[in-house]
Amino acid sequence: MTGDEIISQFEWLVDDETIDEDQELVLLNLAYDRLNTMRVWNYLATSEESQTIAAGTTAYSEPSDMLYPTAVKYYDSSGDGYYRLNLVPYSQKARHWNVSTYVYYDAKNSNFVFTKDPSGAEYAGKTLVIEYQYQPTQLTTATSPVFNRAFHPLLAYEMARHYFYNDQGEKSRAWNKELDSEYNRMLSEMIRWDDMIDTTLEPTAEPDYNWTGGLESSAYSDGSMYTEPNRFI
């Protein structure tokens, strides 16, 4: 759905087509921001690998569209691998001062800062990898939310909730429960869909043996043992 289609859905919910168009966009983006910040969504996960760690440089800028960080790593092209650094809150920077592998987030200055000068060969010249939740650009009447279209109507319901809060009356108070019920149902479905992304992408997930009748042991060619589910014949 485009922003215009979501606004039309909102107008239908509140039975009012006379609302100022600019205010409708404000309500739409208020709803969008609230939903995007509600949890750590898989659809907002991304990373930036544009900065090179340099000897003598401890502070590195955060991505311009960062909502909040989730991890900091470095990439070593010679070893062809990613290595995690310890990302800690600003309040813990003194605790880990001058200790390797620690980076703290300085929100005020929009930086990630090494607690020890990364001059050693382990870090210098390597690529800094910042993993984070990004903040989508605000919606217009012509653009669409970045999450799955099945859940776009959530924004119309969230808009309606805020509209009613600012336009209280006997009728609006009576409708809040109905809107909340539908909103919460769709939100639960969206959370379940989002959680399934991890499940489907996890290659080491253990299979569900509940239906197989248990496990049985077998041996590798070297004599070591492994277990596998009993199979029905």
Domain ranges in the chain are: 3-41+147-198, 44-134
Q: Write down the residue that tokens 């205010």 correspond to.
A: 23
pLDDT at 39: 87
| Segments of the chain assigned E as strands | 45-52, 59-61, 66-76, 81-88, 102-106, 111-114, 127-134, 215-219, 225-229
Query: Residue 151 in contact with residue 193, Cβ under 8 Å?
Result: yes
DSSP string, 59-102: EEEPPTTEEEEEEEEEEETTTTEEEEEEEE-GGGTTTTTT-TTE
* pLDDT for res 167: 59
The pLDDT of residue 80: 77
Radius of gyration of the chain (CA): 25
Give the chain's count of helices (H) and strands (E): 4, 9
CB within 8 A of 116, min separation 6: which ones? 58, 97, 98, 99, 100, 102
In the Cβ-directed half-sphere of 121, how many Cα atoms lie within 13 Å? 2
Supply the DSSP symbol for 42.
Answer: G
Which stretches of the chain drop beneath a pLDDT of 50? 203-233
